[in-house]
Structure 1
Amino acid sequence: MPAPLLRRIVLCLAIASPAIAFRLTGFAPNPVIDLFVFGAAVVAASFMLAWAAEAAQKDISGALAIAILALIAVLPEYAVDLYYAFRSGSDVAYEQFAAANMTGSNRLLLGFGWPLVVFVALFVARRTAQARGEQGTSLTRVLTLPGSSRMDIGILAIVAILAFVIPVMGQIAMWFGFVLIAIFVGYLWKAGRAQGDGAEEEFVGTARHIAEMPTTRRRAAVISMFVVSAAIILTSAEPFATALVDSGSSLGIDSYFLVQWLAPLASEAPEFIIAVLFALRGMGAAAIGTLIASKINQWTLLVGSLPIAHFFGGGGTDLALDPRQVEEFVLTASQTVMGVAIIVALRFHRWSAVALVALFAVQFVVTDTTGRYVLSAIHIVIALVVLFLHRCDIMPTLAAPFRAPAPPHPRCDVEREARGSEEQVTKSVQ
């Protein structure tokens, strides 16, 4: 095993070891200390999980690899969310937390993760253009996505529309959970049938050290990292989730706020770092593709699994939502619709990224019910305006998950021809 890889694995294990000791001995000195100990273990295990998942693409190529990578990357979030849902089956006080982590993580992913990748990718494109003596090129203002992204965007669009069923019902019904899980299964099947571009996968950072190992040793290392990191996450998820709630009470901080935002920061950090590393290598489209796949996973498999966990925890067949969670789902779904509208034309403009960050920041100032619904309405209005401007891309995007992309609409021919030269240059930069 390469020395840099070994050092990083040992460091992660060292960070996680106090949590293992706490869990084995039952030692729990203080909720705040528990929060940091078990939270650090989740972050360390998440890094190992992300490195292994990325390196696994060496043996699993194509769109399916991206989907599986995105699924594995959100496993820490699954562990925390499903614990809350399971616990809510026997303790009604935990119902308010069942979906809090998911809505926070989902909005963090789109409101912070997407723009971060775009800013980094456009910065790299600008530096590349300057090195080549090119000034004022659109590559420094717009990140162009490949045509293969249309299938993922189409599925995300469908799921974003279906997501409004949850606040309308005021619960996540068991039958609706199965619908979402079925969509996820169909997404994996579709991704497995998708054809890649034939390009050899590029690896960055720690994943590169793993990918360069001989086949047998590489696969053994990947499997071992999967098993060890999963064991750490499963061991730490319950005490970490409990410590989040208890720390809020002891510190006088809203426990819902900690569950919604602190836990996602821990679970999403490795994924954000990997996405930024891709963008720094000029692979901004691939980075955005991974984050899009993560949102699909969250809206389908994660949300669909919550009522199932609630049922096995001793609750009913439906997971009830209180008024606060209804507001959070409306806000999260409306933000997702706006995100889909921004990328439906396979172009991510830097000003769109600025708008996402700005509206994401506003939600921390607007904390009342009326404010959340007004912000949701702003998301929808922006989405409708952008969708009208890119109306020719709506039907091909919605059709992409079900069949091959439809032929370009006659009205769009001129616009697509204008984009053609830009996309060719973008591919050469990336």
Structure 2
Amino acid sequence: MLAKLIRPIALCVLLTLPALVVRISGLPLPALLGLVTFGAAVVASSFLLAWAAEAARMDISGPLAIAILAVIAVLPEYAVDLYFAYTAGSDPSYVAYAAANMTGSNRLLLGLGWSVVVIIALAVASRRSGRPVRELVLESGRRVELGFLAIASVVAFIVPLTGQIHLVLGFGLLGLFMFYLWKVSRAEAEEPELVGPAARIGGLPARVRRSLVAGLFVFAAAVILTSAEPFAHSLIETGTQLGIDQFLLVQWLAPLASEAPEFIVAILFAVHGKGADAISTLISSKVNQWTLLVGSLPIAYLLGGGSAALVLDGRQIEEFLLTAAQTLLGIAALLALRFPRWLAFTLLGLFALQFVFPGQQARYMLCGLYGALAITALVRNRRHILPTLAAPFRAGPRMDAEIELVAR
């Protein structure tokens, strides 16, 4: 068991060493080599953070601790996105990338992550039961996260409508995130179910486990903070040299690196027959992105020398609108706390369409398609709208039961 634990950790540490050596020595690297070097360090550190965050649940009980650990686990994504926003405060050329990573990771999480996890979970459930299982049913308690996500995504439409992320909106979203943390801290604690290397770390003696988890947190965070800036620069320079759209590299390559561990953990849950836990984890991540991450962007921009509003260009406005429309469809279809197979394939297909038709007109048409499907789903699930929006504000289990009764 010890060998199985040491191998993946040692591999990740080895992948981070070239980036650390380059940063400490100040050795200049060609853009593409820098992208590979620092990208590998970010990916490897992301895995270390994900394993440590999962294993830490053995010692830090309660939903609040889980929510905080979830924030730590997505540090790679936040580090890159906030760096772009901070730099944009003094260098206007970086404004074009300030929200690119956020919109890419957000759509990746829902369009690819939700879909693949549900498809796998339903396939596993069908094989185990010996009959077709066509939908994944979520627990009623997940309506709280869905309610927070619904509120945040509706508020997010202010961004494409105004063409900016204002500091006031940022503080409002951060306030919503703090309220989310407070709300989940009042929920009942659950025994964590770990998989993969996190489970092997969790099985260690308490003292060894805590020391290892703390060490992984410190090491991974240090590597990510060290690699975020050169990784971001390498993305842009590589795109320039290879004639690839830099915006697309920032929007999709960086999120693939930072979201990979989270996807793998969710897929492992699905493979082990815990599909509801897998999709719930990804829903919580969406709440973090729409509140903490979006709310932090104007603050980083201001600290970097910018104004009180991060003004977006036309491309980013389109991307924000498309991301918000996609999220609205996901929420509308999940109002009944059921994730059918057809929805998974629909979200996956629509996600793929944006690469087949990448133009501006196609993005607006895709927004319209998302919107039309969302309205249809809202009408179909209309009796669940108020219970979902009220879920973050309900008092406790009794109120929860009453709201669920009304929904039915």
TM-score tier, shorter chain, comes to over 0.9
Q: 2:387, 2:407 within 8 Å by CA — same for their partners in 1?
A: no
Shift of 1:368: 2.1
Match of 1:356 among 336, 344, 347: 347
Q: 2:267, 2:319 → 1: CA distance?
A: 28
When residues 310 and 141 of structure 1 are mapped into structure 2, their CA distance, relative to the original with a 3 A threshold, is same
Write out aligned runs for 1:34-49 (5 A). Answer: 34-49=34-49
Percent identity over the alignment is: 55
Residue of structure 1 in register with 2:77 after alignment: 77
The within-5 A match list for 1:160-199 is: 160-196=153-189, 198=190
What is the CA distance between 1:378 and its match in structure 2? 0.9
By how many angstroms is 1:237 displaced? 0.4
Name 1:262's counterpart in structure 2: 253
Aligned counterpart for 1:318 among listed residues 309, 312, 318: 309
Quote the Cα distance in structure 2 between the aligned partners of 1:359 and 1:177. Answer: 29
| Equivalent residue runs for 1:18-29 within 5 Å | 18-29=18-29
Confirm or deny that 1:379 pairs with 2:370.
yes
1:390 corresponds, among 381, 398, 406, to 381
- Alpha-carbon distance between aligned partners in 1 of 2:390 and 2:92, rounded to the nearest angstrom: 41
Residues 88 and 412 of structure 1, relative CA distance in 2, 3 Å threshold? closer
Tell me which residue corresponds to 1:370: 361
Residue 53 (structure 1) aligned with residue 53 (structure 2): yes
Any runs of at least 4 consecutive aligned residues in structure 1 with deviations exceeding 3 A, and if so which? 408-413
Contact (CA 8 Å) 1:330, 1:376: kept in 2 or not? yes
Residues 70 and 291, structure 1, Cα contact 8 Å, conserved in 2: no
Q: 1:95 — aligned with what?
A: 95
Unaligned runs of 5+ in 1: 414-430
1:24–1:110 Cα change, 3 Å: same
> Does the 8 A contact of 1:399 with 1:405 survive in 2?
no
Instruction: Kindly indicate whether residue 86 of structure 2 is the aligned counterpart of residue 86 of structure 1.
Output: yes
Distance (Å, rounded) in 2 between the aligned partners of 1:153 and 1:215: 34
Number of residue pairs matched?
404
Specify the alignment match of 1:419 in structure 2: none
Instruction: Name 1:286's counterpart in structure 2.
Output: 277
Distance 2:192 2:97 in 1: 39
* Cα distance in 1 between the residues matched to 2:407 and 2:393: 22
1:150-229 superposed matches below 5 A: 150-196=143-189, 198=190, 200-229=191-220
Cα offset, 1:408, TM superposition: 5.2
Task: Report the Cα offset of residue 65 of structure 1.
Answer: 4.2
Question: Aligned-pair distance for 1:168?
Answer: 1.1
Alpha-carbon distance between aligned partners in 2 of 1:221 and 1:309, rounded to the nearest angstrom: 32
d(CA) in 2 for partners of 1:115, 1:168: 28
Partner of 1:405: 400
Question: How far apart are the structure 2 equivalents of 1:251 and 1:401?
Answer: 47
The whole-number CA distance in structure 1 between the counterparts of 2:67 and 2:112 is 20
Matched, 1:332 2:327: no
Structure 2 CA distance for partners of 1:60 and 1:409, relative to 1, 3 Å: closer
Distance 1:338 1:44, change over 3 A: same
Q: Structure 2: give runs of 5+ residues left out of the alignment.
A: none
**More displaced, 211-220 or 30-39?**
211-220
Deviation (angstroms), 1:222: 0.8
Name the CA shift for 1:201/1:261 in 2 (closer, same or farther; >3 Å). Answer: same
Three-state SS of the structure 1 residue aligned to 2:143 is helix
Deviation at 1:369, TM superposition (A): 2.0
The answer to whether the Cα contact below 8 Å between 2:136 and 2:276 also exists between their aligned partners in 1 is yes
Contact 1:67/1:290 (8 A) holds in 2: no
Q: CA deviation at 1:67?
A: 2.1
Shift of 1:7: 2.0
Match runs of 1:95-114 below 5 Å:
95-114=95-114
**CA deviation string 1:319-370 (max 9, x = no partner):** 1100110000000000000010121111000100000000000011222222
Q: In 2, distance between residues paired with 1:368 and 1:380?
A: 18
Per the alignment, residue 299 of structure 2 pairs with 308
- The residue number in structure 2 matching 1:423 is none
**What residue identity is the alignment partner of 1:359?**
L
Aligned equivalents of 1:85 and 1:317: distance in 2? 12
Q: Residue by residue, what CA displacement relative to the aligned partner does 1:40-77 show, whole Å, maximum 9, x if unpaired?
A: 00000000000000111112334334423431221100
CA distance in 1, matches of 2:336, 2:85: 37
AA paired with 1:248? Answer: G
Match of 1:345 among 336, 339, 342: 336
Cα 1:31–1:147 change in 2 (3 A) is same
Q: Deviations over 1:351-406 (max 9, x none)?
A: 00000000000011222222211111111111111111111111111100001326
Equivalent-residue separation in structure 2 for 1:293 and 1:142 (angstroms): 20
Give the aligned residue type for 1:5: L
The C-alpha deviation readout for 1:177-236, integer Å capped at 9, x for no partner, is 00000000100110110124x5x3221110011111111211111111000000000000
TM-score by length of 1: 0.91
Which is further off, 108-117 or 378-387? 378-387
What does residue 263 of structure 2 align with?
Answer: 272
The TM-score normalised by the length of structure 2 is: 0.96
Q: Tell me, yes or no, if the aligned pair for 1:50 and 1:270 is still in contact at 8 Å.
A: yes
Partner amino acid for 2:366? L
